[in-house]
Amino acid sequence: MGRKRGAKGRKDLDLPKDIGSLDGKDINEIAEKMGEKHQGNKTQVRKIYNDIKKIQVDWNAVENKEEEIQETISALNLVRPKLAYAAARKKDLGSLKKEIDDLIENLNEEVEDVENFFKLMESFIGYHRYFTEKR
């Protein structure tokens, strides 16, 4: 019995509304599920992650993160149109677009939320690579 590899038949992930309350185990579990679900499209996924990583580098350079939260969330919101463009080009990226959109949209203006979002994306990219290479 083969597994379905396309986007059809894949169940949407139940993503938390409060990302700031996640611990390392929760982040790992979500990232692993996302990585397995969104195998393939290495180039497109890497482009999305690179955009997020640039924002993370700026975030990490700031001493007072409380003052930077709104600007960082605003910058992350500008990744959403790039996600839409990627999903329009590659239809099987639609559910990944929705999941990352939901995560960004539900970010609270708290340091923990932003930090956990970056941790989740970094963990996702690791699992994405693992499951893509494994297939």
Round to whole Å and give the CA distance between 77 and 79. Answer: 5
Q: pTM for the full model?
A: 0.88
Check residue 9 and give its pLDDT.
41
Helix, strand, coil content of the chain in percent (nearest 5):
75, 0, 25
Of the candidates 133, 114, 119, 105, the residue with the CA atom closest to the CA atom of residue 28: 119
Q: CA-based Rg of the chain, rounded to a whole angstrom? A: 15
For 17-63, write each residue's pLDDT tens digit. 889 999 999 999 999 999 999 988 888 899 999 999 999 999 999 99
For 59-102, write each residue's pLDDT tens digit. 999 999 999 999 999 999 999 999 999 999 988 899 999 999 99
Place of tokens 């992350």: 76
Ordered by start, the domain boundaries in the chain are 36-134
